[in-house]
Structure formats: C-alpha cells, structure tokens
Structure 1
Amino acid sequence: MNREKLELIRRTRSMFGHITPFIPDFDAFTARGGDGFAAVQDTAAIIASTEKLIPPRYQKADATDERVLGWVDKVVSQAKPSRLSHVPYLRSGPSLLLLGPTGVGKTHQAYGALRRLSIIGIGCAPVAASITDVFAKMRPRPGIDSEAIFRSYANAPLAFIDDLGAAKATEWNEEVTYRLVNFRYEHRLSTIFTSNAPPKVLANRVGERVASRLTEMARRVPIKGVDRRLGGIT
C-alpha cells in the first residue's frame, strides 16, 4: 500500500479519534478479501480533497450539534459502497438549513460535518462557498464560463452554501439562487445551507419559490448563542 497515503489517513484520523471510520483497518479489510489498495486510494483522496476545500480557520472544525450529527448519520446511511474499493459514495441524500445570528457557529458546524464525513470515509465530492462568492464567480465577464461554474455547484453530490440571503436583492441574484436550489431540490442532492436571516426574513430575501423548496428539502436547525468571534472563539 502507498505509505504516504496511509500516513495521511492515520494523521487525520488521529486528530478525531472519537469518529469511527467506515473501514477502520485496511489490513483486516484486505485479509477479509477486500481490495485494501483501492480502499486506501479512495479514502486518501476523500480526505485530501476535503482538506483542500476547508479554509484554514476551520481545519480543526468538528460537528457537535446533535441535529447536525443526526444529519451526518443519514448521509452515511444513504451512501453506497463502490464495487471495487467498497468505500461508500453519496449520490443523493438529505439537506440541512442552519439558521442563527452572526457568529454562533453555523459555518463551524457545516465545515465540521464535511470533515466528519471525510474521516468516516464517505465520498461526497463536496463543494463549498458563500452565496455571494457563487454570484461573484458567475458574474458575466470575458473569459468566464458562468454556466460551467453554476454546474459545478449545482451537480456536486454534496454542497455547502453559506450565508444564503446575505447578498443584495437583485433579479439576477434571485434567479441564480432559484436555479441552484431548484436543481438540487429536484435531484435530491444533499446540501447544507446557512443563513443569518430569520425564516420570514429569509423568505423575503430569496423569494417564495426558493423558500418553499427549502422548507421541503432541508431540515431547519436553529443555532443559538452569542457571537463567538467577539469572544475570540474560532
């Protein structure tokens, strides 16, 4: 087996010893007739891609809210083991809407959920961005394929869209938000949304069409507390 990739897996798992991986022992997995080499390759790729995705501030994030952990369990239960490596991959699954004021830890919980899934060894090919960054990347300008950028967020098996409803209300922003949410709603793709806006305010900001789909597709989880940033908590 590839020692470098085994070390990546070992190092990352050692930081979160309380999380049980889907394949905890690759040697034992091989002894049972599994393809340990393929399992290591896939698991290392899952961990490496998630590490690259998560910003430095959230590199040690872990989900702690019981409702978020319940969502992670549902995602794990719906992932299907691949034929060769037996590493599970997500094709469709549940969504989550984390609501609460600024600084209470919504983004921390969301990135913690992504990290937890990677340590368990669930292939989700996640993408993550604030909705304002999605708009900025898609803004029409020379040399930019806006539709390709849109598809990268729309088609991902798992997406984390931060700060929903935070952008200035424009017809273009509302249409992009609707297209993104509606595509993921129709294809039952797992999505974590966060928003600082209360439910009624959020509905006004994103439009009734988006609000209706969010209500049906995502479990609403209010996050309470004080602004962690003011106290220096990260």
Structure 2
Amino acid sequence: MRHHRDPQTLADGTSVLDRMARILAARGLDRTAVDALGDEPERFSPEAALSAGTPPRYRDAIADHPLVLAWARQVAAQATAPSTGARRQVATGPSLLMAGVTGAGKTHQAYGAIRVLVRAGLGVRWRATTAADLYAELRPSTTTDAERVLAAYSRVPLLILDDLGAAKTSEFVEEQTCRLINRRYNAMLPTLITTNLRIRDLKAYLGDRVTSRLAEMTTRVEFEPVDRRRHQRAA
C-alpha cells in the first residue's frame, strides 16, 4: 500500500514550514513570522517577515523619538555575531518604558523601533502582546499550558509589552507581571513597555518588586500629554 505524503512535508516527516522556521530562527526570526508568510516562505525577506508579524495598523510605523532611537542604538551595539557567520542577533540589552496618555504614539514607536533594528541588518526574534492579552493567556485553563506561555514570553529575545496597567489590578496580575519582568530582568533581555499610567503611579499598580526591577532595567520616556489620534482625525 502506497502512503501519500503531504507535499508540504519533507521526507523525514518535518513540515516545510517547520524546517523553514529552523532556518529563519538562525537568522533571527520567530515561527509566528514564518506562519504569517503563508505557503511561499521561499519569498522570505527580513522586512517581509517583520510586516507579516506586525498588526496592519503599525506596519508602516517609524520610530522618531530621540530616546527610542537611542535605545535601538544601544541594543544594536550589544547584538552578538553567531559562529555560523549569519547576521548579528539581538540577544541582550536595555529595556525601555514609554509612558503617556492614550494615543500619544507609544505603540507606534515600539513597532517602529523593531523596524529600525531589522533595517540595520540585525536578526530580531520578537513577540508582542498587550498586558491584558497576556494575563488572559496565563489564566488557568484546560486547553492552555500557562507555564509554557510564560516561558515563551520570558525567553524571547525582544518583547513588546503594550498597555501595562490597563488591566484591573489583582494579586494574579501583580504576581504574573512580577514573574515575567523578573525573568527578563535576570536574563537582561530587551523589553519595550508602554503604559498609560504616569510613571509615579506605577508603584501603586505594580507593587514594589516590579517597580524596583523596572527602575533598574529601563530607560523611562514620558510622552507629551497629547492624543495624536484625535489630532489626526481632526486634520
């Protein structure tokens, strides 16, 4: 009896996308970006993978804030060169905490900062999530391994953690935030954090442990209290 093999599966049973994911991981790209490319990963380029993994609203994001660009330069300076001769990889580096009102452009700057690194020729394995979505993924469930989810966000070389402080505070929220931030702090992994809270109000929401870690691991950027979205609509 002849067994028919999926044309997207290699002889050893590995799917084409899985094999491509391994190749692209060496170049600094996450599997999520590979999946987003569809059935033709051979057309891969770093810029295409970046766009595929970025929400449509932020695919043309450009970082122009001086402190965000300075952060990108610091991260690029600490990128490591793999022994294989592939592009330098973002591995460790400082973090950035961007605070300001809703619509001030914080998330736009965060995605733009990743584009800066990719266009500088660096390999960037990254993930992005809102704090509220992260807590939803980490809540006990029969279908989700919360520890595995936390490990994935804790270990990815670069993380965007958007809207920290938007979810209602609770013991669970404080504990999970502390675990994530502490792991990334210990591993010295760059994290882009945005929050609508004023920096002086973070301690009341996050607690002493998280605030202390953030104070040491991040450069803090206070955005002007202007809702750019509202101004754009008015224009």
TM class, shorter-length: 0.7 to 0.9
CA distance in 2, matches of 1:176, 1:114: 25
Partner SS for 2:97: strand
Contact 2:127/2:160, CA 8 A, preserved across alignment: yes
RMSD of aligned residue pairs (Cα, Å): 1.9
Structure 2: which amino acid aligns with 1:59?
Answer: R
Partner SS for 2:83: coil
Q: How do residues 13-28 of structure 1 correspond to structure 2 at under 5 angstroms? A: none
Match of 1:58 in 2: 58
Contact 1:161/1:193, CA 8 A, preserved across alignment: yes
Q: TM-score, normalised by structure 1?
A: 0.78
Partner SS for 2:96: strand
Match of 2:27 in 1: 42
Match of 2:228 in 1: 228
Is 1:113 the equivalent of 2:98? Answer: no
Match of 1:157 in 2: 157
Structure 2: which amino acid aligns with 1:203?
Answer: K
Deviations 1:155-188 (A, max 9, x none): 0111010111111111111100000000001111
CA distance in 1, matches of 2:60, 2:205: 32
Contact 1:42/1:85, CA 8 A, preserved across alignment: no
CA distance in 2, matches of 1:225, 1:168: 22
Is 1:211 the equivalent of 2:196? Answer: no
The structural deviation recorded for 1:45 is 5.5
Structure 1: which amino acid aligns with 2:161?
Answer: I
Is 1:147 the equivalent of 2:147? Answer: yes
Contact 1:95/1:190, CA 8 A, preserved across alignment: yes
Match of 2:85 in 1: 85
- Which 5+ residue runs of structure 2 have no aligned equivalent? 1-22, 29-43
Query: How many percent of aligned residue pairs carry the same amino acid?
Result: 41
The structural deviation recorded for 1:225 is 4.4
Contact 1:100/1:196, CA 8 A, preserved across alignment: yes
Structure 2: which amino acid aligns with 1:54?
Answer: T
Structure 2: which amino acid aligns with 1:143?
Answer: T
- Which 5+ residue runs of structure 1 have no aligned equivalent? 1-37
Q: TM-score, normalised by structure 2?
A: 0.78
The structural deviation recorded for 1:232 is 3.0
CA distance in 2, matches of 1:75, 1:119: 13
Paired residues in the alignment total 195
Q: 1:153/1:218 Cα in 2 relative to 1: closer, same or farther (>3 Å)?
A: same
